[in-house]
């Protein structure tokens, strides 16, 4: 029963959508297991260009069942918009299944997310303000509303009414905001519920029947390891675990069933929002990477911070996930660079650190120790075979493998589906 998890190895936006799109052809089930519509996985294929916020990136293959797992929080308005867009592009989304255990983002979540970011002022976390953090907080505080609740209107009304009483007290008394109206939210969400009802069901049996048949199940991670609430740069992190371990919980699959865990890394590194980033380049090179890589957020449009590959963070990420393979994307962005640097250690207070510090205030002060490798001329975008890459590009890839102690099995050299080099087969 091959379960293959595809997880972001950095701060998100590594190109997971493209990797899933390439692998999904041979899969039977693709499951999103964490995050919410703060994700924006870009898929470019013959059907068009899509930003997948909630629907798994496997939806473009007719034989693939796509599950929004219990570990995701769903904004129904965004999901319906996404389904509408797929329909406009003649993509059949009837194989979508939504876990009845997945929680919903509600209007008070979005509102409180924005109000809380305003209150933090200069200390803002740089959230996407989509209510994801507040929705996960309510899940853990046992006052969340799940997709399954939309099916039973009486129960939904009574839950919403008691939760909203509390949320309105916070809105009015803490933030001086006007209260939200119960009946307005109730009616709006009942309409969403009617539209989504055909997709909502218990998903455990769907996944486990597929595993029992020996089919390939792909777990599609969102965000990236360095945004994990435990292992990321706390508090500048996301609210659910993007790790492979999060895939086990967010989809309901035993860790024993995992065959491969693929870490997706860019050939450099990017970050959106606040928080430490030791290899950030605030110079012309950073600007060049941003321009060549179109490094602007898929969800927010914000310019991404760009820097050299951070192998200290990468090694940490490989350890906490247990990557069996790495998918390296955006190699083509370095085409024509005279030289390329890799951060191999940090310097902090005159000492060399070979590990990723857990304290963000220490990481903030870490200076990268760089190793410099020769770049290559010419374009890698048309190359489909590892041996045909320029020797300097192969050297760069091999050096990253050494530093992360993990094989790079897949290299992407462009945004299109076919622009990949399969170094070693990932799927049987």
Min dist. Cβ of residue 20 to ligand GDP (A): 8
In this structure, are residues 304 and 297 in contact, taking their beta carbons and an 8 Å threshold? yes
Nearer to ligand GDP, 232 or 357 (CB): 232
> How do beta strands 339-348 and 309-310 pair?
parallel
For the bound state, the minimum distance from the C-beta of residue 57 to ligand GDP, rounded and expressed in Å, comes to 7
Cβ 330 vs Cβ 416: under 8 Å: no
Is 286:307 a contact under the CB 8 Å cutoff?
yes
Of 288, 316, 317, 311, nearest to 368 (Cα)?
Answer: 311
Q: Which of 21, 41, 113, 325 is catalytic?
A: 41
Closest separation between CB of residue 41 and ligand GDP, Å? 4
Detail the DSSP E strand segments found in 18-62: 29-32, 41-45, 48-52
- Nearest approach, Cβ of 149 to ligand GDP (angstroms)? 29
Q: Is 75 or 210 the residue whose CB approaches ligand GDP more closely?
A: 75
Shortest distance, CB of residue 420 to ligand GDP, whole angstroms? 8
Kindly state the tokens that stand for 146. Answer: 């799940």
State both tokens at 65.
Answer: 């069942």
Active site includes 13?
A: yes
Q: How many CB atoms lie within 10 A of CB 370?
A: 15
Catalytic option among 13, 149, 228, 325:
13
Surface-to-core class of residue 19, CB atoms within 10 Å of its CB (0-12 exposed, 13-18 middle, 19+ buried):
buried
d(CA 280, CA 190): 46
Q: Three-state SS string across 368-385, please? A: EEEEEEECCCCCCCCCCC
Residue 124 CA from chain centroid, whole number = 21
Give the nearest distance from C-beta 413 to ligand GDP in angstroms.
6
Is 154 one of the catalytic residues?
no
Choice between 408 and 413, CB closer to ligand GDP = 413
Q: Pick between residue 21 and residue 215 the one whose CB is nearest to ligand GDP.
A: 21
* Cβ 170 vs Cβ 141: under 8 Å: no
List strands edge to edge, sheet with 408-412. 200-201, 96-99, 65-68, 29-32, 217-220, 3-8, 258-266, 325-329, 408-412, 420-422
Residue closer to ligand GDP (CB basis): 15 or 71: 15
Closer residue to ligand GDP, CB minimum distance, 57 or 147: 57
Measured over all CA atoms, what is the biggest interatomic distance in the chain, rounded to whole angstroms? 66
Q: Which residues bind ligand GDP (CB under 6 A)?
A: 8, 13-18, 40-42, 44, 298, 329-330, 332-333, 412-415
Enzyme catalytic residues: 13, 41
């Amino acid at each position: 029963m091959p379960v293959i998890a595809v997880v972001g190895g950095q701060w998100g936006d590594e190109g997971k959508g493209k990797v899933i799109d390439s692998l999904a052809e041979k899969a039977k089930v693709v499951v999103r297991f964490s995050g919410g519509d703060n994700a924006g996985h870009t898929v470019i294929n013959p059907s068009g260009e899509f930003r997948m916020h909630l629907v798994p990136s496997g939806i473009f293959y007719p034989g693939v069942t796509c599950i929004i797992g219990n570990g995701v929080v769903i904004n129904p308005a965004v999901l319906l918009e996404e389904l509408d867009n797929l329909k406009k592009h003649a993509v059949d989304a009837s194989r979508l299944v939504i876990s009845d255990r997945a929680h919903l983002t509600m209007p008070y979540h979005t509102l409180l997310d924005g109000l809380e970011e305003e209150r933090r002022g200069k200390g803002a976390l740089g959230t996407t303000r989509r209510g994801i953090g507040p929705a996960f907080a309510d899940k853990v505080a046992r006052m969340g509303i799940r997709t399954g609740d939309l099916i039973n209107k009486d129960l939904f009304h009574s839950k919403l009414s008691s939760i909203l009483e509390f949320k309105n007290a916070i809105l009015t008394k803490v933030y001086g905001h006007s209260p939200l109206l119960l009946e307005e939210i109730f009616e709006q969400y009942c309409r969403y519920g009617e539209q989504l009802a055909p997709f909502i069901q218990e998903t455990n049996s769907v996944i486990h029947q597929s595993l029992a048949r020996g089919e390939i199940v792909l777990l599609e991670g969102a965000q990236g390891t360095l945004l994990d609430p435990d292992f990321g740069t706390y508090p500048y992190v996301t609210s659910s675990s993007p790790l492979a371990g999060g895939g086990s919980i967010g989809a309901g699959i035993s860790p024993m069933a995992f065959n491969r865990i693929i870490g997706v890394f860019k050939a450099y590194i990017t970050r959106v929002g606040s928080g430490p980033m030791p290899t950030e380049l605030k110079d012309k090179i950073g600007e060049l990477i941003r321009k060549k890589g179109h490094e602007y957020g898929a969800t927010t449009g914000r310019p991404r911070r760009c820097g050299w590959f951070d192998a200290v963070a990468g090694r940490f990420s490989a350890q906490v996930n247990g990557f069996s393979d790495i998918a390296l994307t955006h190699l083509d962005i370095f085409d024509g660079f005279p030289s390329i640097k890799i951060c191999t250690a940090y310097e902090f207070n005159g000492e060399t650190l070979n590990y990723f510090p857990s304290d963000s205030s220490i990481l903030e002060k870490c200076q990268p120790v760089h190793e410099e490798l020769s770049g290559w001329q010419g374009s890698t975008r048309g190359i489909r075979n590892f041996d045909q890459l320029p020797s300097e590009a192969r050297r760069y890839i091999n050096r990253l493998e050494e530093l992360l102690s993990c094989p790079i099995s897949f290299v992407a050299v462009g945004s299109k589906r076919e622009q990949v080099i399969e170094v070693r087969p990932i799927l049987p």
